Amino acid sequence: MISDKLTQEQVEGVRRLLEPAQKVVVLTHMSPDGDAMGSALALYWWLKATKDVQVIVPNVFPDFFNWMPDVDTILICEKDAAKAKSLINDADLLICSDFNEPKRIGQLGQMAMEATCPKILIDHHLFPSDFADVTISYTDVTSASELVFRLIYQITNHQLPITNYQEMATCIYTGLMTDTGNFAFNSNYPEVYEIIAILIAAGVDKDAVYNHIFNAHTEGRMRLVGYCLNNKMRIFPDCHASLIYISGKELYRFNFKTGDAEGIVNMPLSIKDVYYSVFMREDKVADWEKERANGSKTKIKISMRSQGDRPVNIFCQEIYNGGGHKNASGGEYYGSLADAVNLFLSNYEKYFKKD
């Protein structure tokens, strides 16, 4: 039996906001990952039977999500910001999924904050900001997708299946699987597997989802992985840490496409006695963030991972203006790659435990 994790107030709050809404817009975070895509599309499939639903993401997502059901209906704000703005202005309800603050969705954040319609936030990061009318925020779950499942489960009084059940379930499973590294971490409680049992009974082909996501890389990505591990990885044995950083020029050699760097940050953790891993890559500053970039043409995207009781979110927050989960965080640095690396080198000993 899956427990009712969401409070009655949350469930009733969502019911109250959903009932009169016809036009619903679902927003998720920058550089969408499997949980962002999965939770947003699961909400879409759930509501599609009775409402006019539109998912909007801030920027492009990797090709390995192209198989997801109705993925081609998603609007990418970076490609058509005017349309995103008009959809948000016309919406009766905004549902924000898998992010904790408007800053995490780029220019969509400002559009969402200017919208006068009610808002729901569904998230599993620390420190949710309080812009929403109903906030469903739990950090002790696998994913935002799990929270979407729990919401649907509770709001229907455990009366699954719903219309479009298999599509919804497939999207939920995608988020669960990707945010736990195929159930390698952050998934150590029985209810995760009870939920998975329900999803598989709903018709999810879990092996197919795995293949779509993890066995669908480009040749360039594979060679990039080899290059990063062989030529770029530095180990700091005193602090059990690893650092990989890569310039835009190097990425260009490997025909870099969105998503090609996904997962590289996790790899050094498979070395014995490496408990912290940091990956940095150089990116261009987009038009909408020029002001924030303060004259810099480059932005460094930082990803950090750790094992056990060794937080990396505090480092990301204090040094790179980012944040995230205890064992998986990120941030951005507007400036040169060398400066971002130097910031790491001058701070890691302070933050990383030596045990």
CA distance 181 to 108: 28
Q: Is 242 near ligand 5GP (CB under 6 A)? A: no
Residue 328 binds which of Mn ion, ligand 5GP, none (CB < 5-8 A, kind-dependent): ligand 5GP
Q: What is the dihedral of CA 161, 196, 214, 299, to 10 degrees?
A: 90
Token couple for 72:
């081609």
Q: 3-class DSSP state for residue 72?
A: helix
**Going residue by residue from 12 to 51, which x/- string records binding to ligand 5GP, judged by CB under 6 A?**
---------------------x------------------
Token couple for 67:
């198989």
Pick one of 146, 324, 340, 344: the residue that binds ligand 5GP (CB under 6 A).
324
Phi–psi pair at 134, nearest 5 degrees: -130, 125
* Total residues at interface with ligand 5GP (CB under 6 A): 12
CA distance 57 to 75: 6
Pick one of 21, 330, 337, 341: the residue that binds ligand 5GP (CB under 6 A).
330
CA distance 55 to 218: 27
- Find the binding residues for ligand 5GP in span 97-126 (CB under 6 A): 104, 125
Q: Point out which residues pair with 136 in neighbouring strands.
A: 122
**Going residue by residue from 245 to 284, which x/- string records binding to ligand 5GP, judged by CB under 6 A?**
----------------------------------------
Provide, rounded to whole angstroms, the least separation between the CB of residue 261 and ligand 5GP.
9
Pick one of 34, 106, 128, 323: the residue that binds ligand 5GP (CB under 6 A).
323
Whether 314 contacts 351, CB under 8 Å: yes
CA distance 100 to 27: 12
Pick one of 34, 106, 331, 335: the residue that binds ligand 5GP (CB under 6 A).
331
Residue where the block lists tokens 């790491």? 344
List of residues contacting ligand 5GP (CB under 6 A):
33, 104, 125, 303, 322-324, 328-332
